[in-house]
A = this chain, B = another copy of it.
Amino acid sequence: MDTAIPQYLQRLIDDARAREERQDTDGHPDDRIGIALCTSTGHLYAAGDTGAEFTIQSVSKPFIFALAVQRRGARRVLEAVELEPSGEAFDEISLGDHYRPMNPMINAGALAVNQLILGEDAEADDRVEIVRDLLSKLAGRDLKVNLDAAREEFRSADRNLALAHMLRSYGIINDSAESAVWGYTRQCCVSVTARDLAIMAATLANHGVNPITGERVLDARVCRLTMAVLSTTGMYDATGRWMARVGIPAKSGVDGGLIGMLPGQAGVATFSPGLDKHGNPIRGVRLFEALSDDMGLHLMNGRGRSAEDLSRAMYDDNGNQLVQLYGAIDFTGAEAALHSLERRDADGGEIVLDLSEATEAQEMCCQMLTTGVDELRDAGYDIRISDPDGLLVKDGG
C-alpha cells in the first residue's frame, strides 16, 4: 500500500535534482541520488537511485564497532579506543589517553576496532569474511567485497597505513600494518545500495533484529551503545551541528552513503556522491535535514505526546472502571497508570488495571506498579490487576 511516504521521498529527490539544475556550481559529476527508509515494522520505502551499488566505506564503522563489542565485550574494545568526540577531521590521528584513538568512527579507531573482531591470532581473511557476513545479515542479502575497488583504494592507502603503523607503535594493534589496512580496506569496499543501508540502519534502530528477515543480528545493548556513540561522533567534526539541526544518530561514508537511525522506529539511508569539507555527503545532509523537519524525527522531540496518553482510563463492558496499559511498559507509562488509578473513584467499585495488551515490562516498572497498587489498596481502592501474560509476576515478582 502506498502511505504517502513514497511520494514524499520522491518529492525530496525531485527537489534535490531541480536544485542542482538551477545551481550549476552545486553539481557533482556523479549526480546520482537516492533515499530509502525502512521501518521497524519491516516496511521499506525508496526513491531515486536506491539500487545503485557503491562501496560502504565509513558507514561500515558503526556496524563493525557493534560486531567487536558483541564478540569481545565493551571492556575489551574500550581498551583499544575511546568514545569521545575529537573535534577533528576524519583522518586525524587523534590519540587520547594511553594513545588510544579518540573514537571508533575516525579511521584510527576503526582500524583498531577491525582488529578486535576476532582473536589476536586471527587471519585477516577471516576477519574480512566475518565482516562481510555481518553486513550481509544486516542487509538481509549476500553482500560482496568489491575487490577491484579495494585494490585501487589500497594503492593510495598511505594515510591509513600511517595510522596503522602509529597504532602498532603504541601496541594498539599487533597485525602488520599492511594486513590491517588491507583487511580494513576490504571492509570499506563491501558493495551496497541505499536500500541495503536503510535495512542495516533499521536493524540497528530495531535493537538488532532485522525487520525484514526477522533475524536477530546484534544484541539490543550493543545497538544502543553503537547509536549513542554515533550521536556524538558519527558526522566527524560536524556532529554537534548535525545533532542540533537533524537530531538523528548518523554515519557518513566517502563514497556517498549516509545512514540515520530513529531508535525503535526506523532506519534511513541516502546515497549521493560529493562531500562537504567535513567529509559528509552534501546532498545527503540536505535530504536528512528536510526529512527531520518534515517528519519531526529529531531525537529531542521526545515522545511527542503527553504521558497521560500512555494509559487509558475508561470503563469495561461490565461498567467497571478500567485503566489499560499496552505495549512495553516503561517508567513513564507505569507512572501515568498509577496516577490514573488514583484519579478513579475509590468508592466507585472495582477498578481494573488491564495489562492484557501490554507486551513487556522492565523490572523497575513492575515494582512501581505493584508497590503503587498495594498502597492504593491500603488507601481503600478496590483494584484488580488483569495480567494474563504474567508480566508482573515474571519480570517484577
The yes or no answer to A320 lying at the interface (CB within 8 A) is no
Closest B residue to A227 by CB, please name it.
Answer: B300
The yes or no answer to A194 lying at the interface (CB within 8 A) is no
Contact A264 B303 (CB under 8 A): yes
Name which of A182-190, A239-247, A386-394 contacts chain B: A239-247
Expressed in whole angstroms, the Cα–Cα distance for A363 and B293 within the complex equals 11
Closest B residue to A2 by CB, please name it.
Answer: B375
Contact of A264 among B164, B301, B338, B342 (CB under 8 A): B301
Expressed in whole angstroms, the Cα–Cα distance for A158 and B177 within the complex equals 8
Contact B39 A240 (CB under 8 A): no
The yes or no answer to A68 lying at the interface (CB within 8 A) is no
Name which of A46-54, A116-124, A130-138, A307-315 contacts chain B: A307-315
The yes or no answer to A238 lying at the interface (CB within 8 A) is yes
Chain B positions within 8 Å of A161 at CB level: 161-162, 165, 177
The yes or no answer to A5 lying at the interface (CB within 8 A) is yes
Residues 163-191 (chain A) with a chain B CB within 8 angstroms: 163-166, 168-169, 177
Q: How far is the CB of A112 from chain B (nearest CB, A)?
A: 14
Closest B residue to A6 by CB, please name it.
Answer: B371
Contact A244 B83 (CB under 8 A): yes
Contact B265 A339 (CB under 8 A): no
Contact of A265 among B237, B307, B364 (CB under 8 A): B307
Query: Are A2 and B207 CB-contacts (below 8 A) given A8-B367, A169-B158, A305-B327?
Result: no
Expressed in whole angstroms, the Cα–Cα distance for A30 and B163 within the complex equals 34
The yes or no answer to A3 lying at the interface (CB within 8 A) is yes
Contact of A339 among B41, B331, B372 (CB under 8 A): B41
The yes or no answer to A85 lying at the interface (CB within 8 A) is yes
Expressed in whole angstroms, the Cα–Cα distance for A294 and B309 within the complex equals 23
The yes or no answer to A213 lying at the interface (CB within 8 A) is no
Query: Are A300 and B228 CB-contacts (below 8 A) given A83-B240, A166-B162?
Result: yes
Chain B positions within 8 Å of A210 at CB level: none
Query: Are A228 and B247 CB-contacts (below 8 A) given A165-B159, A239-B84?
Result: yes
Contact of A41 among B39, B227, B238, B307 (CB under 8 A): B307
Expressed in whole angstroms, the Cα–Cα distance for A224 and B244 within the complex equals 8
The yes or no answer to A252 lying at the interface (CB within 8 A) is no
Expressed in whole angstroms, the Cα–Cα distance for A88 and B375 within the complex equals 49
Contact A262 B335 (CB under 8 A): no
The yes or no answer to A149 lying at the interface (CB within 8 A) is no
Chain B positions within 8 Å of A3 at CB level: 334-335, 338-339, 368, 371-372
Contact B83 A86 (CB under 8 A): no
Contact flags A357-372 to B (C-beta < 8 A → 1, else 0): 1011011110111111
Expressed in whole angstroms, the Cα–Cα distance for A281 and B312 within the complex equals 39
The yes or no answer to A397 lying at the interface (CB within 8 A) is no
Chain A residues with CB under 8 Å of chain B are 1-5, 7-8, 39-41, 43, 82-88, 93, 102-103, 156, 158-159, 161-166, 168-169, 177, 205, 207, 223-225, 227-229, 231-233, 237-241, 243-244, 247, 249, 262-266, 294-310, 312, 326-328, 330-332, 334-336, 338-339, 342, 357, 359-360, 362-365, 367-372, 375-376, 379
Q: List 14 A-B contacts (CB under 8 A).
A: A1-B338, A39-B307, A82-B240, A83-B244, A84-B238, A86-B87, A87-B87, A159-B169, A162-B169, A264-B305, A265-B307, A266-B331, A296-B365, A310-B327
